[in-house]
Chains A and B, each alone.
Chain A
Amino acid sequence: MTRRRSLLWWIVAVACALLIAWWWFGRADVVSDQAAVSDATLRDPALIAKGAYLTTIADCAGCHTAQGAKPFAGGSAVATPFGDIPAPNITPDVETGLGSWNFNAFWQALHTGTGRHGEWLYPAFSYTSYTKVTNDDALAIFAYLRSLPAVHRPAMPLALKFPYSVRRNLGAWRALYFREGVYQPDSKRSPQWNRGAYLVQGLGHCNECHAPRDALGGTPKDKHLTGGEIPEQNWYAPDLSTQQNGGLHGWAAQDIVDLLKTGQSAKGAAFGPMADVVATSTQHMTDDDLHAIANYLQSLPPRKMASAEPELFDADAIAQQGEKIYLQHCADCHGKDGTGVTGVYPPLKGNSSVTEPTGVNAIRTVLLGGFAPSTAAYPRPYSMPPYAQQLNDSDVSAVVSYIRRGWSNHATAVKPEDVSRYRQTPID
């Protein structure tokens, strides 16, 4: 009884806190009264060039471009479990883009997640990360975006379900998950480490995919960069720690640099959404920035060992069936011992995309096959055949279970039902 009562009090207390937060954060913010930035400043070629690089690192085009359409002109949407959120036009078109925005309004959006009319923006726009971007960098990005040719293209309509369609509800969400503030360097760490942390946490917004999202779509602070399912896309973005039990356990700095620069590394290849990120963003980073990112990721702490889930079916029998399929279809490229061929075919042994908690990456890669991205450093990648036509759900589950449990891998087996589910997943 007392336990139930204390639970009730706890619920009331949280509700009150959320209400206060809703009222407090819900006041319309006044656009900060910074000194206006002159047009001459925004036309400075050096500033625009700097902005072009930063915009590439931030991969703004990744969301703000519809398939096959003009870059940065929006017209695309970010799919979330709560509905589709349009990515608007950020070219300088007056009517549909940033043409009538000043820098203060841009800064307000990036730094505080607030629109031009004081309205809260939906966090599909990753201001949870971009708030860490410095004012100087934001100015350069704004100058670059203003230098683009204007494209007239209205955004898609907001397609959120009730109650998520009520913007004021974002007050509670912001109180739970959003901490406004530019990245503060850690003076005990090297400049290289700080640069890496700034890129990973801020511009690169890595945490927006590489962390689990809870029922409200937030990423709890203690789970940052520990890996998570990407909502609606059905891919798993692995944990980024290189230490014990980390998703990148055993990755050297050079492996991280290689993957981001070429799409390939001795430890694994980029595919799915990460292939897009490498192709449009990270391959264009300077070596200094890539090494900074690697340096920072290598400092992420070891992770707890995942508790083994009891398996309610005979996983070993499934994996035995899988071995036959593996030897027939996979071993020619990935090797009997699962070590792959460096620079050609990724290893499966110790590969975080094979052993990630859900199995979705291995299942979908077997079904879809595909190429690693073409990059400047690796323009003619090898590819994997799609097996969706050749293998049925039971065969795919068997071979995926085999590679998840083979060699030194200790991940859970997957079931035919899991395969069936991901056969239906749309590509985007």
Chain B
Amino acid sequence: MLFVLAALSGMSSSAADTPSIPDTLPQRIAACTTCHGVHGEGTPGSGFFPRLAGKPAAYLARQMQDFQNGLRKYAPMEYTMRQLSPAYMREIADYFAAQQVPYARSPAPVVSEAVLQRGALLVTQGDASRGVPACMSCHGKELTGVEPSTPGLVGLPYDYLSSQLGSWRTHTRGTVAPDCMATIAKRLDPSDITAVASWLAHHDVPPDTHAQPAGSVTPSMRCGVLGATGEGA
């Protein structure tokens, strides 16, 4: 009986003019979840807003900081991050890193078999003649990322992947020096961007999508982000 009364009173308060607002992090971060999904699953239908769920927390916190500092240029994100404290950004990063939700497939472009083969080569072996390491050499054997700071590349939309590689070349995405992804993106031929982004967008998500443990990979380049944890400047 008491339970019924409580349920009724709950109903009547939600029907009143003054909304009752849950004191939860997802409620607080509606500005994030509108585009990235309540669990950071991304909005695959949009073809752009990337998945955040399960990405390493230090990577996510670093990206928020890079938007805040203008190293990553994307006006809506720069505006949204503008006055968040490092502690709050870290809390938000931890929330999305801890989310376990199924992957949805994003629309992938129709490209020739030759383009996909070039993509596969870059992902698995790189291109020694251009000084381009294989994606797998840093992002993990299954491309699911490496703790604490290397993101996974699976399940991302083609438009997002290709625009990120492009923005490293045009200085609209950067991070702490040495910025090894900027170096790699500049070594790619423009057609390589289409190839690698297409292959990744077509690639099936592996059964275990967890990032590899920290220290399980020795990167072939010295990267500023791998010496940083996403906290402090």
Partners in one complex: yes
Which residues of A line the B interface, CB within 8 A?
Answer: 67-68, 263, 275-276, 278-279, 331-337, 339, 341, 344-345, 368-374, 379-386, 388-390, 426-427
**A279 lies within 8 A of B83 (CB):** yes
Tell me whether B29 is interfacial, beta carbon within 8 Å.
Answer: yes
Query: Which of the candidate stretches B84-92, B107-115, B121-129, B193-201 sits at the interface with the other chain?
Result: B84-92
Q: Which residues of A contact B35 (CB under 8 A)?
A: 386, 389
Taking CB atoms and an 8 Å cut-off, the chain B residues in 151-185 that contact chain A are: none
Q: Could you tell me if B82 and A275 are in contact, using CB atoms closer than 8 angstroms?
A: yes
- Cβ–Cβ contact B21 & A341, under 8 A: yes
Contact B88 A339 (CB under 8 A): no
| Minimum Cβ distance to chain B for residue A259 (Å) | 14
Cβ contacts under 8 Å, A388 to chain B: 76
Bound Cα distance A345, B23 (Å) = 12
Name the 10 nearest CB pairs between A and B, nearest first: A68-B69, A383-B31, A385-B34, A373-B83, A67-B70, A374-B85, A427-B75, A279-B83, A337-B17, A427-B79
Question: How far, in whole Å, are A331 and B15 apart by their CA atoms in the complex?
Answer: 11
B94 at the interface (CB under 8 A from A): no
Is there a chain A Cβ closer than 8 Å to B215's Cβ?
no
Distance from A121 Cβ to chain B, minimum over Cβ atoms (Å): 27
User: What is the CA–CA distance of A373 and B84 in the complex, to the nearest angstrom?
Assistant: 6
Q: For the complex formed, measure the closest distance between the CB of B233 and the CB atoms of chain A, giving whole angstroms.
A: 8
Contact check, B17 vs A379: say whether CB atoms are below 8 A apart: no
| Inter-chain contacts of B84 with A (CB < 8 A) | 371, 374
Closest chain A residue, CB of each to CB of B32 = A383
Quick check: B19 and A369 within 8 Å, CB to CB? no
The distance in angstroms between the C-alpha atoms of A263 and B83, with both chains bound, is 11
Contact A380 B18 (CB under 8 A): no
Chain B residues closer than 8 Å to A383, beta-carbon distance: 28-32, 80
Contacts of A426 in B (CB 8 A): 75
CB of B83 within 8 A of CB of A386, answer no
Nearest-neighbor residue (CB-CB) of A280 within chain B: B83
30 contacts between A and B (CB under 8 A): A67-B70, A68-B68, A68-B70, A263-B83, A331-B19, A332-B19, A333-B21, A337-B17, A337-B18, A339-B17, A339-B18, A341-B21, A345-B19, A368-B80, A369-B30, A370-B79, A370-B82, A372-B83, A374-B83, A380-B28, A380-B91, A382-B27, A383-B80, A385-B33, A386-B34, A386-B35, A386-B76, A389-B35, A427-B76, A427-B79
Q: How far is A196 from B135 in the complex, measured between Cα atoms in Å?
A: 59
Residues of A within 8 A of B32 (CB): 383
Q: How far in angstroms is the closest Cβ of chain A from B183?
A: 20
Excluding A339-B17, A368-B76, A382-B21, 9 further A-B contacts by CB distance (< 8 Å) are A67-B69, A332-B19, A371-B31, A381-B28, A385-B34, A386-B34, A386-B76, A390-B34, A427-B76
